[in-house]
Amino acid sequence: MEMRLQKYLAQAGVASRRASEKFIEDGRVKVNGQTVVSQGIKIDIATDIVECDGKKVAIANELKYYMLHKPTRFITTASDEKGRKTVLDLLPNQERLFPIGRLDYMSSGLLLITNDGDLTYKLTHPKHVIGKKYVAIVEPKVNISDIEKLEKGVDLNVYKTAPCNITLIKEDSSTQTFEIILHEGKNRQIRRMFEWIDTKVIVLKRIAIGKLKLGSLELGDYRALTTEEIEYLKNL
């Protein structure tokens, strides 16, 4: 059976399909001892030997799907040149896994982790829209008229944001707590949105992805997704 090399790497749990393409581009992948740097090459998964960074890789016999309650100060990559802790340090170390999407270093909350490269590719592709719900505490307080501007979408110079939903759920003398539903996931988007209206996000937590909710999962803990949750994600 033939398969594109980047898809094979993703299925083997090396990285997402996009990241696997970068690995190929950087010369980190060999097929039958020969370095491959061009995209779109097909391999025979039964006979060809694939290596990444000098280690043989193979497609996992069993696909795994986890929900993790990411703490702050963990990065959502497999490794870090600065030596910071990654979310994979919180998962079974005998399994080769990678996160679906990202949460920034100082954000916490729901993160999906798997070795299913096809599902990762599907859920992170721009054409697939899935709502993600966050809770953000900001300081200083802002005018609701500014929030309405953010809801319509704004030009942040680095990129334009799509319309979103922002609801004030609590406030005290110096802070406000908002519930935010995004249908996109640009880099540091919520933090940049609030900076645009001259306030700062001091706490940011993702509490849901589509119908999947963080619920009572403790900080730093993980659980396997249910069959129903997996089917829901695959059918999006």
| Residue closest to 120 by CA, chosen among 196, 235, 233, 4 | 233
Helix axes 144-152, 189-196, angle to 10 degrees: 130
190: CB partners within 8 A, 6+ apart: 134, 136, 180, 182, 201, 204
104 is catalytic: yes
From the list 104, 172, 198, 221, the catalytic residue is: 104
Beta strands 200-209; 108-114: pairing state: parallel
Residue 113's beta-bridge partner residues? 66, 99
Pair of tokens at residue 63: 């696909």
Could you give the residue numbers annotated as active site?
Answer: 104
